[in-house]
Structure 1
Amino acid sequence: MNRLPAMKANDWLNKVPEITLSFWIIKILSTTVGETAADFLALNAGWGQGVTRTVMAALLATALFTHLRTRRYTPWIYWLTVVLVSVVGTQITDLLTDGLGVSLYVSTSAFAVVLAAIFLVWYRVERTLSIHDIVTRRRELFYWAAILCTFALGTAAGDLATEALGLGFIWGAVAFGTLIGVTYAIWRKGGNAVLTFWIAYILTRPFGAALGDLLTQSEIYGGFGMGAMWTSSIFLSVIALLVAVAQVGMNGSGSAQATE
């Protein structure tokens, strides 16, 4: 069985992309795809929830293993992993809510506690939660554990707001979009960069979930009726385009450095 290669600290480059506008666009699109793709595969494609969960979990494990074997940030591997984390995070919440009948109030609270525990342990061990310092295997594992939990939490929180609290898809998207805007304003005013990043990262998940439901659901239920297949296809195409640009740019930068 292959094992992850041992790496010295000075062999690592940061495994997370720079936080740019493109990062946030891809992140939001990924969260929406996580909502729509899971529904499409389980319902429209006829896979069923059990098969969809098994296949997506296996693909995520493969992508994450591939990412962990790399020594530097590789756009297509990183964002493929994020998309799959989004799908699996959605399925975890759906399993609890629809399969096991767990209240959205309970699941949202539970995921929030688990995420807080991950951050607490991560900080106590590493003394930093900054994504600019993901330069060791242990920090990377903390990072991906937190990412998976943010997607599960965001899905539960989004469903709680739009369904249990009755905000609906439009007002749910507006509410979470406003909170993201407030977080951005706080950061611009000098707020803690690490804290505001993670708050925004969490909020993009319920925003993306509400947006996904708004686009895919029938007009009878307050949506635009685009359907999960079309929404997923369009958003995945945009993600692929942006990631391809980032990958080409990184390859060009690497070639330039090699010739210096």
Structure 2
Amino acid sequence: MNQRTDEALSKVPEVTLVFWIIKIFATTLGETGGDALSMSMNLGYLLSTGIFAAIFLAAVIVQIRAKRFHPVIYWTTIIATTTVGTTLADFADRSLGIGYAGGSALLFGLLILSLAIWYRTLGSVSINTVGSSKSELFYWVTIMFSQTLGTALGDWTADTAGLGYEGGAILFSVLLILIAAAYYRTKLSHTVLFWAAFILTRPLGAVVGDFLDKPINTGGLDLSRYTASAVLLSAIAVFLAAFQHRPAKLNH
């Protein structure tokens, strides 16, 4: 199987700096977009979760049925996971009364379980092996749990731990820098480091999103959720249009 065939079978993007920039924009959009529906439109967490879950399922079906890598389809699905993750985590943490710590612990357990079942079933959780419908399904379920976990973890850090939005953003930024250093300077598993970074970009987006749209008296900038969401969506569109996006190379 040659490289061209490999890339045709891979429907997830190559991991580059642009990938991580768009991922952070997408996770921040998930926070502002999720809050716009559940809070600004007063639809509540449960109904908003149902709406975003339907969008997520539709996006996943389109993504899995696609014959090749489509950046717009892929990032639409990522945005869908992060919006439904926002409202689902808020519903569990606030409406069900689990709390941020409890919600984070539960979702972390589900994430680890998802990765363990994926590894036991297919032998690898590397993105370079996501080339079949089954591996894609595991990939998106794992991402769904990671996005939801990130929301709960971001809220827990900013509120319960008392770091605030700016403190939370600094904390998660530093952790991501350390992961990047480990990627280039150590022999730690690149697969483990990828998933660690992927998970941590979500709470970073959560605290940045909250910083943008929460009231000034709670440490935010009190910007319109609609405006913030539109700006973030526009930024993602610019990065999709301005840069080349290649599929990840599959391992044989």
TM-score w.r.t. the length of structure 2 is 0.90
Q: Using the alignment, how far apart are the partners of 1:20 and 1:10 within structure 2?
A: 18
Task: State the percentage of identical aligned residues.
Answer: 35
Q: Using the alignment, how far apart are the partners of 1:11 and 1:44 within structure 2?
A: 42
For the 8 Å contact 1:12–1:136, the answer to whether it is kept is no
Q: How does 1:240-251 map to 2 (within 5 A)?
A: 240-245=237-242, 249=244
Q: How does 1:53-202 map to 2 (within 5 A)?
A: 53-190=49-186, 191-202=188-199
Residue 45 of structure 1 deviates from its aligned partner by 2.8
Unaligned 5+ residue runs, structure 2? 248-252
| Structure number with bigger Rg | 1
Unaligned 5+ residue runs, structure 1? 1-8, 254-260
TM-score w.r.t. the length of structure 1 is 0.88
Residue 10 of structure 1 deviates from its aligned partner by 8.0
SS of the residue corresponding to residue 9 of structure 2 reads coil
The equivalent residue for 1:6 is: none
Residue 218 of structure 1 deviates from its aligned partner by 1.9
Residue 106 of structure 1 deviates from its aligned partner by 1.2
Q: Using the alignment, how far apart are the partners of 2:149 and 2:44 within structure 1?
A: 23
What are the Cα deviations for residues 153-198 of structure 1, in whole angstroms up to 9, with x where unaligned? Answer: 1111111111111110000100011001111111111332111110
For the 8 Å contact 2:12–2:69, the answer to whether it is kept is yes
Q: Using the alignment, how far apart are the partners of 1:172 and 1:85 within structure 2?
A: 22
Q: How does 1:6-25 map to 2 (within 5 A)?
A: 13-25=9-21
Residue 11 of structure 1 deviates from its aligned partner by 10
The amino acid that maps onto 1:198 is: W
The equivalent residue for 1:227 is: 224
Q: How many residues align?
A: 242
For the 8 Å contact 1:187–1:193, the answer to whether it is kept is yes
Q: CA RMSD in A?
A: 2.0
What are the Cα deviations for residues 96-151 of structure 1, in whole angstroms up to 9, with x where unaligned? Answer: 11211112111111111111111111111111111011111111111001000000
The equivalent residue for 2:209 is: 212
For the 8 Å contact 2:35–2:225, the answer to whether it is kept is yes
Residue 21 of structure 1 deviates from its aligned partner by 1.0
For the 8 Å contact 2:46–2:87, the answer to whether it is kept is no
The equivalent residue for 2:250 is: none
